[in-house]
Amino acid sequence: MIFLHVSEIEKDIFNKMMSMNFEIDSSKKVMSVWMFLKSYHFNSFYEKISTCDEMVFKNLFVEAKSVLTFLESSSSSTFQDVCPLTSQCLNSSLNEILLKKEKVNNQVSLICDMICCDNFKDSFMEMNLPSDFKLNPLAKEWYPPIKAHEIHRSLFMTLTPDPFSKRKIFDFFQSYLYRLFGPDSVHAVFIYHKGGVRANFGKIVFKNSSICAWLLQGKEAKFRMEPGCIWLRKYIPRQ
């Protein structure tokens, strides 16, 4: 795996991060993940990233950060693919690619230290395009055509014994997620009943599985919502 220089399209992708006000160090790390994946010779990977709209780009960025979280964790568990957009860009699942966790982490770290930290120093990269180089104004914007199954877009929630309504939970997460994931981030909220009595657990269905990965950032997440709290974790349906 040899990188002689940073390509123009890599500069373009990094500049896109900067134009969207992403933090520089995080952007360098995400670029190292994408450069590692590109080394597997996925032909149109960069093209799809560079031509997608801002909302999809944000979600791809979040997915790359979830890969970094997995690689940097001490857990011996295998990667659970919660990166549907990235998998669609690659036309391949990340599970097999990330199977050798330690080796992948070393390669990504090496790319970050030797390539990204040296080449992506400024908030914007200077584009050294040939004088006759022109972007195609008719290039089609890439957008993922397939939505993940509802199971992969759902999180199990546990509630404190307080009077939470489905509407209140729906509005809370809709507002919480709007800035990063846009409108309609929450699709549905379910509060279960046990023996005819309302139980203190349920599930939330989101627009895409990237939201689930971003919310959890690990195994479980806690959210304070008056008058109590909500815990979220991976949704595992009953067999």
Summarised one tens digit per residue, pLDDT across range 172-199 is: 999 888 877 778 889 999 988 777 777 7
**Is the pLDDT reported for residue 8 higher than 70?**
yes
Tell me if 125 sits within 8 A of 118, measured CB to CB: no
Q: What is the mean pLDDT of residues 116-136?
A: 59
Taking the C-alpha atoms of residue 12 and residue 32, their distance in angstroms, rounded to an integer, is 14
Pairing of strands 186-194, 154-159: unpaired
> Which element (helix H / strand E) includes 189?
strand 186-194
Alpha helices in 112-235 (DSSP H): 117-119, 166-181, 209-216
- 146 pLDDT tier (thresholds 50, 70, 90): low
**pLDDT, tens only, 221-237:** 888 888 888 999 988 88
- 1 pLDDT tier (thresholds 50, 70, 90): very low
| CATH top class, domain 150-234 | alpha beta
Q: What are the residue ranges spanned by the domains of the chain?
A: 8-119, 150-234
pLDDT of residue 86: 84
Tell me if 32 sits within 8 A of 114, measured CB to CB: no
DSSP 141: P
pLDDT of residue 143: 54
Taking the C-alpha atoms of residue 10 and residue 202, their distance in angstroms, rounded to an integer, is 42
Q: 165 φ, ψ to 5°?
A: -100, 155
- 154 pLDDT tier (thresholds 50, 70, 90): very high
Tell me if 152 sits within 8 A of 209, measured CB to CB: yes
Alpha helices in the chain (DSSP H): 8-19, 24-38, 45-51, 54-72, 84-90, 94-97, 101-111, 117-119, 166-181, 209-216
Cis geometry, peptide bond prior to residue 84 (ω within 30 degrees of 0): no
Tell me if 235 sits within 8 A of 151, measured CB to CB: yes
Residue matched to tokens 């203190």: 200
pTM of the model: 0.56
Taking the C-alpha atoms of residue 201 and residue 193, their distance in angstroms, rounded to an integer, is 9
Q: What is the mean pLDDT of residues 65-74?
A: 85
Classify 236 as helix, strand or coil.
Answer: coil
**Is the pLDDT reported for residue 42 higher than 70?**
no
pLDDT of residue 189: 94
pLDDT of residue 78: 61
HSE-CB for 35 with a 13 A CA cutoff? 33
Sheet with 228-234, strands from edge to edge, namely 186-194, 197-206, 154-159, 228-234, 220-225
Residue 123 tokens, joined:
């908030």
**pLDDT, tens only, 79-120:** 665 677 888 788 777 777 787 888 888 888 888 887 888 778
Residue 5 burial (CB < 10 Å; 0-12/13-18/19+)? Answer: exposed
